[in-house]
């Protein structure tokens, strides 16, 4: 009887119905309170549903019931990875591999953790070890495609993405990666395969989303612009429905930040003497931040750490989804010091005494907090044309978060609030950060790179001009673009879309 119920629950999980999976597993767990398996299953459903608190709780309970439940141990490691508790994550992956050195999921997940640490060689070694044990593990091939993409080895990216699809044709994430590196014509084999696959009733909505975005790019290449827009809208609509994002909470946060910081006397906050030299590159997604990071991390004294979400997630954890807590946090010097110390501890092994650069985009929300806890830090704000930025966001399928990008009106609304907040910061803390316009950087790179380095109090370094030769890992959607010399084709790219996506452009209050 229990086996039949578990089979039904696993089917709900496979279909991505996490609420039903959770509800049915809780019912079954009440009748079987000593089941380590069910607690792990429940934890996994919570993990997939992005509820990390309940995921951790149930994995710990599962391990308490069976200390050798390797699946729960591995899943708890993954939970801690998402929570940015990297030492704990590593300890659980090691514990899983101590129980079974051939446990493929732990090898893959430990590789993903090494990737976060910017240790691509160690990550590649773990993925290849997984493949030596299980040659048909398409996830390991996909992970290799991602990591080779990040270090600019695009031939390897293509090879491993194709290997993943050979094994699992419905693994459409690999189709999406491939679409970035193919210049499609109408008779392209990969395009024809994707067009046939889109009507496959056996693929999930999540798989369809990746396929729609890949087809949008491919059909744009062939000149079939109407079909390209069709798939772009389909993919965004599916994603928007899947994540069910509500913008009210973000609007409340924008408003609370302004009302709180306008009254703040920065000199009244006494924290531990923190002279850490840090660079934060902030801006909207697809605004050119990856390009600026690649330029600056080419400097001999700068280490580009990618998008570190430590700071934002620690502040958000304190706020507990209630922006009214902003004022309380600013009065809590103990917690402010803890946030600063946690950031410095988590990044201490990364930069080899170079200046650490964090490119977590949405840190534009936290410029006031950065000013409080890291008064010696430097902030570079990258601003691009509103229409080009929003179009590029709408055309991009992001790996995590940024759910406002999948709906035309919500994307425009979010951009308007971002723009208003940056105007606010500029009036309040203008000298604390430097704004570079993407278009200016493209049109006059040498002059503008020199200006940025002057603001950062860094000597001019010729390698910053030749940033495309930088071998540092790039983990964002711009991984292929920033390996190229500066190009201007992305300026005013919105023009041919303006009448096709009207709800996006007409709701923007800035150009």
Q: Which residues have a Cβ under 8 Å from the Cβ of 60 and sit 6 or more positions away? A: 76
In whole angstroms, give the CA distance from residue 302 to residue 16. 42
In whole angstroms, give the CA distance from residue 303 to residue 297. 5
Measured CA distances, 404 to 247, 282, 391 (Å) = 7, 17, 13
In whole angstroms, give the CA distance from residue 181 to residue 69. 41
Domains of the chain: 171-244 (no CATH), 275-505 (3.40.50.300)
The partner residues of 382 in beta bridges, in order of sequence, read 436
Residue 5 pLDDT grade (very low, low, confident, very high; cuts 50, 70, 90): confident
20-62 tens-digit pLDDT = 999 999 999 999 999 999 999 999 999 988 899 999 999 999 9
194-203 tens-digit pLDDT = 999 998 878 8
Answer for the pair 356, 350: CB distance below 8 angstroms, yes or no: yes
Q: For the sheet containing 355-358, what is the strand order?
A: 302-304, 355-358, 278-282, 378-383, 433-437
The DSSP 8-state label assigned to residue 50 in this structure reads T
449-494 tens-digit pLDDT = 999 999 999 999 988 988 776 666 655 554 545 445 555 566 777 8
pLDDT at 218: 97
In whole angstroms, give the CA distance from residue 20 to residue 217. 34
Q: Give the orientation angle of helix 52-65 with respect to helix 36-48, to 10 degrees.
A: 160
Q: The tokens 């430590």 sit on which residue? A: 310
**Least confident stretch, 137-151, 427-441, 467-481, 496-510:** 467-481
Q: How many CA atoms lie within 13 A of 179 on its CB side?
A: 28
Q: Percentage of the chain with pLDDT > 90?
A: 66
Measured CA distances, 42 to 25, 66, 106 (Å) = 6, 15, 19
Closest alpha carbon to 213 in 477, 13, 481, 503: 477
Residue 49's Cβ-count burial label (10 Å; 0-12, 13-18, 19+) is middle
**Whole-prediction pTM:** 0.87
279-294 tens-digit pLDDT = 999 999 999 998 999 8
Report for 8-12, 342-346, 406-410, 469-473: range of highest mean pLDDT: 406-410
In whole angstroms, give the CA distance from residue 274 to residue 283. 25
Residue 234 pLDDT grade (very low, low, confident, very high; cuts 50, 70, 90): very high
């Amino acid at each position: 009887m229990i086996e039949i119920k578990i089979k039904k629950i696993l089917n709900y999980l496979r279909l991505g119905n996490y609420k039903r999976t959770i509800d049915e597993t809780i019912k079954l767990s009440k009748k079987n309170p000593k089941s380590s398996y069910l607690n792990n299953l429940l934890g996994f459903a919570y993990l997939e549903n992005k509820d990390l608190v309940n995921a951790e709780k149930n994995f710990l309970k599962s391990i308490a019931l069976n200390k050798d439940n390797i699946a729960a141990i591995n899943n708890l490691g993954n939970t801690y990875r998402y929570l940015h508790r990297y030492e704990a994550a590593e300890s659980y992956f090691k514990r899983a591999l101590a129980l079974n050195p051939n446990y493929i999921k732990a090898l893959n997940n430990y590789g993903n953790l090494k990737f976060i640490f910017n240790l691509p060689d160690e990550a590649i070694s773990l993925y290849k070890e997984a493949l030596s044990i299980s040659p048909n593990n398409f996830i390991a091939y996909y992970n290799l495609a991602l990591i080779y993409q990040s270090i600019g080895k695009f031939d390897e990216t293509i090879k491993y993405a194709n290997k993943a699809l050979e094994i699992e044709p419905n693994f459409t994430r690999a189709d999406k990666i491939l679409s970035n590196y193919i210049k499609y014509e109408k008779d392209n084999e990969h395009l024809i395969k994707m067009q046939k696959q889109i009507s496959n009733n056996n693929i999930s909505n999540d798989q369809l989303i990746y396929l729609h975005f890949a087809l949008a790019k491919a059909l744009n290449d062939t000149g079939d612009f109407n079909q390209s827009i069709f798939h772009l809208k389909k993919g965004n609509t599916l994603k928007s429905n899947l994540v069910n994002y509500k913008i009210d909470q973000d609007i409340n946060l924008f408003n609370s930040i302004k009302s709180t910081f306008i009254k703040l006397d920065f000199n009244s906050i006494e924290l531990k003497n923190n002279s850490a030299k840090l660079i934060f590159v902030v801006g909207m997604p697809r605004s050119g931040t990856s390009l600026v990071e690649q330029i600056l991390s080419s400097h001999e004294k700068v280490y580009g750490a990618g998008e570190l979400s430590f700071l934002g997630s620690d502040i958000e954890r304190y706020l507990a989804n209630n922006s009214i807590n902003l004022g309380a946090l600013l009065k809590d010097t103990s917690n402010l010091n803890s946030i600063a110390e946690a950031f410095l501890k988590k990044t201490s092994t990364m930069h080899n005494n170079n200046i650490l650069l964090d490119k977590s985009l949405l840190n534009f929300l936290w410029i006031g907090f950065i000013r409080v806890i890291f008064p010696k830090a430097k902030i570079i704000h990258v601003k691009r044309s509103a229409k080009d930025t929003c179009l590029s966001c709408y055309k991009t399928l992001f790996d995590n978060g940024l759910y406002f990008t999948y709906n035309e009106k919500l994307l425009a609304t979010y951009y308007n609030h971002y723009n208003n907040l940056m105007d606010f910061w500029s009036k309040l803390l203008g000298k604390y950060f430097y704004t570079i316009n993407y278009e200016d950087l493209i049109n006059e790179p040498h002059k503008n790179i020199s200006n940025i380095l002057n603001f950062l109090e860094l000597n001019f370094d010729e390698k910053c001009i030749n940033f495309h030769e930088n071998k540092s890992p790039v983990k964002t959607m711009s991984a292929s673009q920033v390996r190229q010399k500066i190009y201007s084709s992305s300026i005013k790219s919105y023009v041919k879309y303006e009448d096709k996506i009207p709800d996006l452009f007409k709701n923007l209050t800035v150009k």
